[in-house]
Chain A
Amino acid sequence: MRFPTEIGSRQRPAFGWMDVVVLAGVAGLIYGFVQTASQWFGPFHTSVEISLSPLALPAYAGLSTLRMLLAYLLSLSFTLVYGGVAASHRSAERLMIPILDVLQSIPILSFMPGVVLALVALFPKTDLGVELASVILIFTSQAWNMTFSFYHSVRTVPQELIEASRMYRLTWWQRFWRRDVAFSVIGLVWNSMMSWAGGWFFLMAAETFTLGDKDFRLAGLGSYLQAAANEGNSAAIVLGLVTLVALIVLIDQILWRPLIAWSDRFKMELTESADAPQSWFLDLLQRSALLHSLSAALRHAQARIADARTRSARRPQPLQPPSRGLWIERAVGWPVTAGLLALAVLGVWRILGLLTDVGAASLGGIVLDFFLTLSRVAGALIVGAVWTVPVGVAIGLNPRLSRILQPVVQVVASIPATAVFPIIVAALLSVRGGLNVASVLLMLLGTQWYVLFNVIAGAMAIPTDMRQAAALFGVRGWLWWRRLVLPCIFPYLITGLLTATGGAWNASIVSEYVTYHDRSFSVAGLGSAITSAAANGRYDLLFASTLTMAVGVALINRLLWKRLARMGEERFRLD
C-alpha cells in the first residue's frame, strides 16, 4: 500500500536535533504504554487514591492521554471499516446507515453505568474493566460523526474519478486508499478534531465515575481535578487546569495542526489556495533525516512486495467482466446481515421484556423528568445563543478582533466542561437551588462553544458587498440584524444549536446527580433518573429512561432542528 503517509519534501535532510526529538518521543510513548499496561493488569482497586502532589501530574496526564489515543484509534478503525462498507455496498448500506443514525441519537453517558458495571463484572480481578469502559465510552462519543463524515465523503467522490478508476481498472485496495480515503481525509481530520475535543469531556466523566457507594474512579487528570475540588485545594485545582490546558494545546500543536497542514494536499479544488494551513511541527518533522529514511525504506519495501506479484501488462487483456468484488465480501455479506438482524430482534425483545416491569406510575415520572431536563436544556441553549450571537458576530466581522480572540476562545473552549464541574459543584452546593444552577451551567459550558464557533464562521461568510450595500443604504440597528446578519448566519446558528442540544442532553446525566464528599446530591430530571436507576440496579428504569431520552432527542431533532436546517439551506444559502 502506498497511502500517502510519507511525510517528506523531495530532498533528504541530514541527521539533526529533530531526530533526537523524534527518538525521544518514540521512547517516551513506549515507556508510557508499558507502564500503563502493567497497571491495567494489576489487581483491581476498590477505590483509587488520587495524589494531589504536582509530581503525580505528568503520570496522570499521560494516563488520560493514552486512554484518549486508544479510543481514537478504535474510532478511526471503526470509521474506515464501517463507513467504507456502508458506502460501497448498497445492501449493507440500507441497514448500516439507519443503525448509525440510531446510535448517534442515543445519549452516550446513559450507557456509562451499564457499560462500567458489565465490564467490571467481566474482569473482576484487574483494573482492565474500568479502563476498557472509559475507552469504550470515549469511542462511542467519537466514532459516529467520524463515520458519517467518511461515509458522506465516499458517497460524494466525483463521478469522473469513479469512472477514471473503473476505466484504468484500479484494484479494490487502490480505490479504497487512493481515492475514497484520500478524498475523505480533510473531512475526517476536522471531524477527528471535534471528536477528540468531545472525547475529553467523556474521559473526564469516566475518570470521576462513582455509582452510589461504588467507586469506579480512574487515576488521571479528571480524577485529580475532582479530588482537588473535594479538598478545596485551590493550588492543585489551578495546577491541574493548567496541565490540562497545556496538554490540550500541545496535542493540538503536535498532532492536529500538522495533520491539517498535511491534509491540505487532498483538497479537491484544482487551484492553489493562497493561505494554505501551516504547521511548524510538520515543517520540523519534514527536516528529520530519520523519518525520511523510514519513509524511503517503507516505500522500497512496498515496491518489492508489489513487484513480487508482477506480471507484464503488455499482453492483450482478455475482454471479461471484472469479478464482482472479493469472494469474501459475497461469502460474508448474508451471514453478517442475518446475524445483525437476529441480534437486533433479540435486543428489542429483551428491552420489551424489561420495559414491562416498569409500572405506569414510574413511566409518568419519567415523562415528567423528561420535561424537567428539557427545560434545563432549553435554558442552557437560550443563554448560550443570547451571548454567543452578538459576540460571535462581533468577532467574525472584525478581522483584528478575530485574530486576537480566536486563539483565546479556542483554548477556553478546549477545556472539557466535565473537568471544571467538580469545582462548580463545590462552589454552588451550599447555595439554595445550587445544583440546578450548576447543572444548567455545565450544559452551557459544554455546548456554548459549538454555537459560538458556528456563529463566527457564519459572520465571516457574510459577503463584503452585502455588508457594504447595507452600509450604503443606511441599514443599521435592529434592521441590520434582521435583514442582513440573522439571515446570513441562520444556517450556521442552527448547525451550532443542533450540535449543542445533543451535548446538553448528554451533560444532564452527569450534572443532575453528583457525589460530593461521599454524599449524593440530585435534582429531579431524566439525567438523574438514569444515574440513580443505574446506582440502584433498576435496569428496567434505566432502560425506560434512556429510551425516553433517545426518542425525545431524536424527535426534537426531527421536528425542530432538521426542519430549521432545511429551511436555512433553502432560503438563506448564499450562492
Chain B
Amino acid sequence: MARVATKVILEASGIVKYYDGSKHPILVLDHVDLGVRRGEFLAILGPSGSGKSSLLRILAGLAEPTQGEVWFDGQRQVGVNPRAAMVFQSFALFPWLTVQENVELGLEARSVATAERRERALRAIDLIGLDGFETAYPKELSGGMRQRVGFARALVVEPEILMMDEPFSALDVLTASNLREELLDLWLEKKMPMQAIIMVTHNIDEAVLMADRIIVLGHDPGRVRADVEVALPRPRNVKDVREQALVDRIYRLLTHPEEEYPAVEVPLAVPVQRPHVTLPHADIGSLIGLAELVANRGGREDLYDLGRDLQMEIDDLLPLVEAMELLGLATISEGDIELSRAGRQLAEGGIQDDKALLREQIVRHVEPIREIVERLEAEPSRKLSWDELHEEWQRFFSPEEAENQIETAIDWGRYAELFAYDEDSGNLYLENPES
C-alpha cells in the first residue's frame, strides 16, 4: 500500500472496550474517537475509572478493543505497533540488567549489530542525562533517574510516536517537575526522534503545562467529554492567570459528571445497563473531616482550592466529593462544593449524632445499601452471605470492583450501625434484629 502522507499520524475510531474477566462484561470505554497529528503533544486526562490506561494500551496495540479500529500512518493497526514506544508509570525496568543493558534490550530484539547498538544506546543515555550511570543497576538509582532510563529505552528505538502512561506520577513533586521541564525542552527543540507524543495523566496542571491538546475523559464508562485545544504560548506557568483559567475550566468539567456532552448512542452487541448506583470509595472518617473543613470555611468552597490546600490529587478528592453528593450532604455547582443542611449537621455533631445522621442519609439516598438492609430484614435468618452478594453485584461490576463496592458498602453500613459483618463466617447480619 502506498504511504499516504497524512497530517494525522494515529487515529482511533469508535473504540469500545469491555472488561470481560467476569460473567457479565463491564463497559470500560464507550465509543472513543480521537486522532493525533504529526508534531502534536496530546494529553489524555481523566480520573480513575475513565479507562485512560486501557485506551493508551489499545492505541499502542498492547490490547485489542472490543469494537473499533486504530489506524497508524494510513494503515490499519493490528497487534503491537512496532513504530511506537512506551514509558510506563512504574518504569517497568528489568532490575537485573544494567542501565545500558536495559536501554539496549529493544535494539537487541531488533537484531541491531553490537557496535551500533552500543553507540545508539550511549547517545540516548547521554541525551536523557544519564551519563555515568551506564553500568548502574536500576536499584542503585533514584526514582527520577529510573524514569530517565525508561525514556532512554523508549527513545533509542527511534519511535515515530511515544506513548507515556502517567510517566511522572510515581515521582516526588520536585523530581517530577524537573523531569517534565527537561523532557519538554527536548521535545520543543526537536531533539527527540518521534513525531508525536500521547501522554495519559490525571494531573490537570501537568496536562495544561505540557500538551498542545487535551482530551478529557469521563468515567464509568470512559468517554470523551471534551477536546480542548491548548493555544497558550510556551513556556507556560500553571500559576499564570490564563493557565489557571484553563485548569479551572477542566476541573469544573471533571467535577460535573452530569454536564451535557455530545454522546452518540449506538446499540451494542452486548448491551449492559448499569442501573446500580456505583458507590464512591470514600472513607467515612475522611468524609466527616472534609465536611468539617468546608463548614469552617463558611459552608462553601472552591473545589480546586480545596484540593490544592489539602494537597490531594483529583483521584483522591473526587470520591469524597461524590460520596457527599450521593449522601445528600453537599451539592456541587460551578466547581464549588456547598454543604446541605445535613452536611452542616454532620460537621457539628458528635460521634453518635453523626452515626444517626448517616444512618438516615444512607437509607434515604443510597439505594444499594438500603437494599441490603431491606433484604436482611426480610431474611428469616437475618443474614446475608458476602459470597451471595458478590455473585449478584458481578452483574454490574467486575469481580474486583464488586469486591470494592461491597467493602465500601460494609464500611458505610458498619459505621452507621445499619448492619454488621462477621469476617469469619462471611455473613452480613442485622445488628439489632428486633424490628
CB of A478 within 8 Å of the partner chain: no
Give the residues from 149 to 172 in chain A that come closer than 8 angstroms, CB to CB, to chain B: 158, 160-161, 163-164, 166-171
Assuming the A-B contacts A174-B109, A178-B105, are A266 and B82 also in contact, with contact meaning beta carbons closer than 8 angstroms in the complex?
Answer: no
B232 in contact (CB, < 8 A): no
Chain B, Cβ-Cβ closest to A313: B110
Which A residues lie within 8 Å of B410 (CB)? none
Partner of B138, one of A163, A270, A303: A270
Complex: chain A residue closest to B60, CB-CB? A167
Are the C-beta atoms of B78 and A311 separated by less than 8 Å? no
A174/B84 in contact, CB under 8 A:
no
In whole angstroms, what is the CA distance A310 to B116 when docked?
A: 10
Complex Cα distance A475/B108, Å?
Answer: 61
Q: At the interface, yes or no: B340 with Cβ under 8 Å from chain A?
A: no
Q: Is A306 at the interface (CB under 8 A from chain B)?
A: yes
- In angstroms, Cα B177 to Cα A381, docked, is 60
Residue B407 interfacial (CB < 8 Å) = no
Min Cβ gap A307→B in Å is: 5
B96 partner, pick from A266, A271, A322, beta carbons under 8 A: A266
Contact A265 B80 (CB under 8 A): no
- Tell me, rounded to whole Å, the shortest Cβ–Cβ distance linking A312 to chain B: 7
Q: Contacts of B108 on A, CB cut-off 8 Å? A: 174, 306
Chain B CB within 8 A of A12 CB: no
| Interface membership of A268, Cβ < 8 A | yes
Which A residues are in CB contact (< 8 Å) with B86?
163-164, 167
Tell yes or no: B251 within 8 A of A by CB.
no
Most A C-beta atoms less than 10 A away, residue of B75, B113, B160: B113
Q: Does A275 contact B (CB under 8 A)?
A: no
Main SS class of interface, A: loop
Q: What are the interface flags for B116-143 relative to A under an 8 Å C-beta threshold, 1 for contact and 0 otherwise? A: 1000000000000000000101111000
Interface residues on A, range: 35 or more
Range, interface on chain B: 35 or more
Please state if B135 and A266 are interface contacts (CB–CB under 8 Å).
no
Q: Which of B20-28, B87-95, B215-223, B306-314 contacts A (4 or more CB under 8 A)?
A: B87-95
Using Cβ atoms and an 8 Å threshold, which residues of chain A touch B139?
267, 269-272
Expressed in whole angstroms, the minimum distance between the Cβ of A487 and any Cβ of chain B is 14
Query: Beta-carbon contacts of B55-94 to A below 8 Å, as 1s and 0s?
Result: 0010010100000000011011111111111101011111
Contact A4 B83 (CB under 8 A): no
- Asked if A182 and B96 sit within 8 Å, CB to CB, the answer is yes
> Which residue in A160, A178, A312, A313 is a CB contact (below 8 Å) of B90?
A160
What are the residues of chain A within 8 A of B140 when measuring CB–CB?
A: 272
Please, which residues of chain A bring their CB within 8 A of the CB of B138? 270
- Residue of chain A at shortest CB distance from B86: A167
Given the known inter-chain contacts A166-B62, A168-B157, A272-B139, please indicate yes or no for A317 contacting B112, CB distance below 8 A: no
List, in ascending order, chain B residues with CB within 8 A of A168's CB: 85, 105-106, 109, 153, 157
Residue in A160, A170, A307, A311 whose beta carbon sits within 8 Å of that of B92 in the complex: A160
A135 to B160 CA separation, bound complex (whole angstroms):
55
CB distance from B52 to the nearest CB of A (A): 15
> Which chain B residues lie closer than 8 Å to A312 at the CB level?
112, 116
B385 at the interface (CB under 8 A from A): no
Interchain CB contact (< 8 A) of B137 among A169, A265, A307, A310: A265
Q: Give B398 Cβ to nearest chain A Cβ, in Å.
A: 16
Q: Quick check: is A314 within 8 A (CB to CB) of the other chain?
A: yes
Does B8 interact with chain A (Cβ within 8 Å)? no
Distance to closest chain A CB from B69 (angstroms)? 13
Name, among A174, A270, A272, the residue most crowded by chain B CB atoms within 10 Å (CB to CB): A270
Q: Do A266 and B105 touch (CB < 8 A)?
A: no
Residue-wise, chain A 295-330 has the 8 Å CB interface mask toward B (1 for contact) of 000000001001101111110111111100000000
Q: Are A163 and B88 in contact (CB under 8 A)?
A: yes
Residues on the B chain within 8 Å of A164, using CB: 86, 88, 92-93
| Residue contact B95 to A303, C-beta cutoff 8 Å | no
Interchain nearest-CB distance for A349 vs B (Å): 38
| A-B residue pairs, 6 tightest by C-beta | A321-B79, A317-B82, A168-B106, A160-B92, A313-B110, A164-B92
9 A-B interface contacts by CB (under 8 A)? A163-B88, A169-B110, A265-B95, A265-B96, A265-B137, A272-B140, A313-B112, A319-B77, A319-B83
